[in-house]
Structure 1
Amino acid sequence: MNRALLTILSTVVLSAIGIGLTMPIIPQLMRDVGHTTELGWRFGAFTGLYALMQFVFSPILGMLSDRYGRRPILLLSLAGAVVDYLFMAVAPSLSLLFVGRAIAGITGASMAVTSAYIADVTPEEQRSRRYGQLGACFGIGFIIGPVLGGLLGAWWVRAPFLAAAAMNALNLLLTLWLVKESHAGEESVERISFNPLASLRWALSFKALLPLLGVYVILVLVGEIGGTVWVLYGEDKFAWDALTIGLSLAGFGAFHALAQAFVVGPIAERWGERAALLIGIVSDGTAYVILALTVHGWVAFALMPLFCLGGIGAPALQSLVSGSVGPDQQGKLQGVMASTASLASVIGPVAISTIYFMSRGTFPGMVWIIGACLYLLCLPVLLRRA
């Protein structure tokens, strides 16, 4: 791996740690500054605001990186993140916390630029491997961040925000010193649009992209099932306590990182990206069906390797999609994908939680069966175009 890739992946780990640092203490901070014990709709709005900002700004940052280069947009995003975390560390009211959350969503949209950077410096046949490593690095940071955030938050509720600011400041310095420009920018790039739907229409104008983007939406929606109901399902179906839930999440994260870092690349390079995507979907769908039907908690742990083999699908698909456009449009394309994922991350949890609470009394595994059925919609696309 060359130094450019190693450096950019290191910045992803630091960014993920920064995001994860603040997660455990956000509810308590909202209660403190809002002078209330009931968050109600405010917490849902606070969570949704982040995804909404990513939906709007991911295509914009991606297009800006096509026009002006990846490096200046990454530096601007990291500098904005430092300011944002400092702002949230001292915010005296709930309304200002919402302002900070909006800024965090904007700066967090820089993952689209990072994905474009990887496409710039990686040969097409190796992109599945590199996107897998990108996902693994983000996963590692997301495991470390909440643990550190919980420890710091127990000392002072605002300490994780200061730590996140310091983490992003370090990230900014690393990027400034070590990350070289991968795309000089194109004056010929069309006018920057601030309408995310315009970027989506542009992506849909590529006939080869339309079915792949449909598969991508399904992958994101199905992926939201675990994040939304895993804890509830463990409590309701298997009577798990907090320790067991924590161990299951840690194990899931570790297996997932290993699969994305070391499995997706060899499979894609040997059998192709479509085969890797197909293996991921079949593995994940099979695990969903078994989890829905079992009554034994140990089976969920036994399924983790199968679940995490399912994680190779997303990097393979991202690599496949990136080959559909030229270097001067990678930022815009990655922005569209990040924006689409953010929108699905707003809609998905609402729909999934609604289905779960409607069916938990009769068949709590219904959401897993629905996820497996959604995966079936991808198979005709992949098999027909293989």
Structure 2
Amino acid sequence: MTSADRDPDAHDPSGEADPEGTDGASDTDSPEDATDPEIEFDGSLTRRRVIGTLFLVVFIDLLGFGILIPVIPLYAQAFGANEFVGSLLIATYSLFQFLGAPVLGRLSDERGRRPVLLLSLFGSVLAWTLFGIAGELGPLLGATNGLVVLFLARALAGAMGGNIATANAYIADVTPPEDRAKGLGILGAAFGLGFVFGPAIAGVVSGPAALNLLRGVLPAAVPVSEFTIPSFTAALLTGLNLVLAFVVLPEPPRRADARAAPEESRLTELYEAVTSPGVGPLILSFFLASFAFSAFESQFIFLTNDRLGYGTAANAVLLTYIGVLIAIIQGGLVGPLTDRFGEYRLAVGGAAIQAAALALVPFSTSWTFVPPIGPVAPGAVALAIVATPLAFGNALTNVSLNALVSLNAGDDEQGGAFGLTQSAGSLARTFGPALAGFLYVTVAYWTPFVVAGVLFLPVLFVLGGVAREQIR
């Protein structure tokens, strides 16, 4: 899926954006250097090349994460977990990312951006490797099966996923204020591409042809399955990324007027933001929208497996389709639509579309009146049809809400405002999957999706009220 755990909002390019308060500062060299896009960092790399390198590092990092999206739910079931436990496994990443992001952010202030990025990449390599050998490692640790190892690996990966805070602080270090949004947008593009190509790679390496080939060339000690090979692929890509970052990514110059990290906890900051009259309704809307969409995402693969019999490879195709749609809409349609209708109308319209589409998702799998397309069954075709407006609405709401948060925050509060949306998103993606899994198991398979659609109704109410005030 596209926004799942990693980010962020996967569509929020900020992550824990500049929690250390580096936005608005200038480079430590000179006023001319602070605005010169070709400033040299080590005598060879310019700012543009450094940002390009950071884009590649973040893209490969997200690529490794995206590979695991279609794997995690069914991998948990392979160890005997039901949908609720599998949903808790999904939520574990966001919980530990929420806890880990400020720690890595403060550590990067004290020890530097580069070593923290390298440390987080190494931790991710370890996490994805553990994921792949969970079945073999579990009994050695005294566990009845590898499910405990999956949770441990997922927690480690989430903590390391907090490196998005460091990546955004890095951007703040190397860009002048007038180019800050452009730099964060570049990281946002890396997020989007990682979520598009990650599931696609998972579909290739978990297919029968790839698995049969690997069984013939890999040693017998290496476990080969539709779950382990994507895990090892993610570990390999992240390992190559670690080497790339070590070789070519320099430590950025520190800013002379960088502010100290805020003393308040993230929960306190989030509460104060939600109760503020300016960005409060927007943060609340972002939380509810993220909660609802994460509930859908966490149960999507369980739904396709139960109703359509889809495994990792088939789900990867569906997820890639949705990811490509969101990327196209965000990159090519949101801008012109915003110019014509404005951010508030787009946010309201996107929420309304998602409310309707989410309620239709679970029932579309049984629509036999939809004609098949080649080998694709009617239920899968219908699901893809319903997913199309859902992706459209998700792209509109996420981009518009992020833009509105930025517009309603002061010039010197941009990083902190985006950090608050990331905090809200992380909490939503922690509790949303847990509730959805509980409903899936205890009530009926369709309830998480219908409830997710209903949750967009208060988003419509809140945004509609704010929009009427602003558009008058």
User: TM class by shorter-chain length?
Assistant: 0.7 to 0.9
CA–CA separation in structure 1 for the residues paired with 2:89 and 2:360: 34
8 Å CA contact 2:89–2:151 kept in 1: the answer is yes
Alpha carbons of 1:169 and 1:360: their partners in 2 closer, same or farther (altered >3 Å)? closer
Alpha carbons of 1:27 and 1:9: their partners in 2 closer, same or farther (altered >3 Å)? same
Match of 2:390 in 1: 307
What is the aligned length? 379
Match of 1:150 in 2: 206
Match of 1:259 in 2: 329
Would you tell me which structure has more helix in proportion to its own residues?
Answer: 1
8 Å CA contact 1:256–1:309 kept in 2: the answer is yes
- Residue of 50, 55, 80 corresponding to 1:9: 55
User: What RMSD over aligned residues (CA atoms) do the two structures have, in Å?
Assistant: 4.3
Alpha carbons of 1:215 and 1:382: their partners in 2 closer, same or farther (altered >3 Å)? farther
Match of 2:466 in 1: 381
Alpha carbons of 1:356 and 1:267: their partners in 2 closer, same or farther (altered >3 Å)? same
- Residue of 423, 426, 434 corresponding to 1:350: 434
Structure 2, unaligned runs of 5 or more: 1-36, 38-47, 216-222, 371-378
CA–CA separation in structure 1 for the residues paired with 2:62 and 2:240: 13
Q: Give the number of the structure whose alpha-carbon radius of gyration is greater.
A: 2
Alpha carbons of 1:87 and 1:351: their partners in 2 closer, same or farther (altered >3 Å)? closer
- Aligned partner letter, 1:264: V
State the shift of 1:304 in Å.
3.8
CA–CA separation in structure 1 for the residues paired with 2:276 and 2:448: 40
State the shift of 1:220 in Å.
0.2
CA–CA separation in structure 2 for the residues paired with 1:362 and 1:47: 19
* Match status 1:75 vs 2:118: yes
- Residue of 154, 161, 175 corresponding to 2:245: 175
Q: TM-score, normalised by structure 1?
A: 0.75
- Residue of 133, 136, 146 corresponding to 2:189: 133
Please list the CA deviations of residues 290-348 of structure 1 after superposition, one character each: whole Å capped at 9, or x if unmatched.
65887554554334442222223213323433452556872x55444333222212211
8 Å CA contact 2:205–2:211 kept in 1: the answer is yes
CA–CA separation in structure 2 for the residues paired with 1:365 and 1:85: 29
CA–CA separation in structure 1 for the residues paired with 2:172 and 2:406: 7
CA–CA separation in structure 2 for the residues paired with 1:65 and 1:320: 29
CA–CA separation in structure 2 for the residues paired with 1:137 and 1:264: 17
Match of 2:285 in 1: 215
Structure 1, unaligned runs of 5 or more: none
Match of 2:310 in 1: 242
CA–CA separation in structure 1 for the residues paired with 2:310 and 2:446: 24
Alpha carbons of 1:195 and 1:304: their partners in 2 closer, same or farther (altered >3 Å)? same
8 Å CA contact 1:69–1:181 kept in 2: the answer is yes
Match of 1:226 in 2: 296
State the shift of 1:137 in Å.
1.6
8 Å CA contact 2:59–2:191 kept in 1: the answer is no
Please list the CA deviations of residues 204-223 of structure 1 after superposition, one character each: whole Å capped at 9, or x if unmatched.
57642222211110120121
Please list the CA deviations of residues 146-177 of structure 1 after superposition, one character each: whole Å capped at 9, or x if unmatched.
32552577742455444333312322343345
Alpha carbons of 1:51 and 1:213: their partners in 2 closer, same or farther (altered >3 Å)? same
Q: Identity percentage over the alignment?
A: 23
Q: What secondary structure is seen at the aligned counterpart in 1 of 2:57?
A: helix
* Match status 1:49 vs 2:133: no
State the shift of 1:110 in Å.
1.8
- Residue of 12, 16, 38 corresponding to 2:80: 38
Q: TM-score, normalised by structure 2?
A: 0.64
Please list the CA deviations of residues 5-24 of structure 1 after superposition, one character each: whole Å capped at 9, or x if unmatched.
54433333311221244456
Matching of residues 161-200 of structure 1 within 5 Å: 161-179=231-249, 184-185=254-255, 189-191=259-261, 195-200=265-270
8 Å CA contact 1:278–1:379 kept in 2: the answer is yes
